[in-house]
Amino acid sequence: MHIIDTHNHIYLPEFDDDRDEVIDRSVSAGVRTIMMPNIDSSSVAPMLAAEERYPGICLPMMGLHPTSVTENYRDELEFVERRLREHKYYGIGETGIDLYWDKTFIKEQIVSFRRHLELAEDYGLPIVIHARESLEVIFSEIEAFGAGRATGIFHAFPGNAAEARKVTAMGFMIGIGGVVTFRNGRQHEAAIEAGINNIVLETDAPYLAPVPHRGKRNESSYLPLVIDKLSEVLAISPAEVSDKTTANAKRLFKL
């Protein structure tokens, strides 16, 4: 079994005490590839250290997280562009728009997201989108940018079935993780609407751990719990969930 975790912050301090053990558990659970989205300039060094320590397993992406967009966002974007020229990355992100935590820099977040869309097109890389309470704004920006010019993942997909249909019509995939195991979660209907050919697996570790680990630190070894839930929701076998989502991720990230 080869499972791909398309969104994991394994380089964060939450894993400093036992990162090797976490990676070992993940590989034993079948997770052979872990995609690492960047946060901002401060996270690049630990992210690349993880890539070096776990070659072929931990693969980096480059971007500026929307909650890291502040007064100095132009300097941060210049840093992103410089790093893209200096190292191989597998995706653009984590980017997007977050209207949940703080709306102070909404205009700057939009400018940053637009630049990430351009970088994704320039480098031919998928874009990983954080869309917390901002789906309509992001849809509008992608439509203005131009249909078919970018592809990627709506990470931790927060929308309903209609919004999932819009995402797939735009040529994007939805990221499904621990939230799908939560009671009364909307990801069930979104997953059904999107279909297995438009879904990739993710953890967002150390966040959003699935039931029965909800509220604790997340890790890639928990992805079989997500696979089992998707198997139930989509009425297909766990093996098919694993195989199809892995194929989707390989195609998207050109692995």
Q: What does the pLDDT look like over 162-210, one tens digit per residue?
A: 999 999 999 999 999 999 999 877 899 999 999 999 999 999 999 999 9
Q: What is the pLDDT of residue 115?
A: 98
pLDDT in tens, 61-108: 999 999 999 999 999 999 999 999 999 999 999 999 999 878 899 999
Instruction: Using alpha carbons only, give the angle 226, 230, 235 rounded to the nearest 5 degrees.
Output: 155
The SS3 assignment for 12 reads: coil
Q: How many CB atoms lie within 10 A of CB 132?
A: 16
Q: What is the pLDDT of residue 1?
A: 77
CA 97 to the chain's CA centroid? 14
Q: Which residue type does 189 have?
A: E
Range 14-27 average pLDDT: 98
Two structure tokens written together for 155:
């990470």
Virtual torsion, Cα 232, 236, 238, 244, nearest 10 deg: -130
Could you give the domains of the chain? 3-253 (3.20.20.140)
Two structure tokens written together for 1:
């079994």
Two structure tokens written together for 89:
């990355």
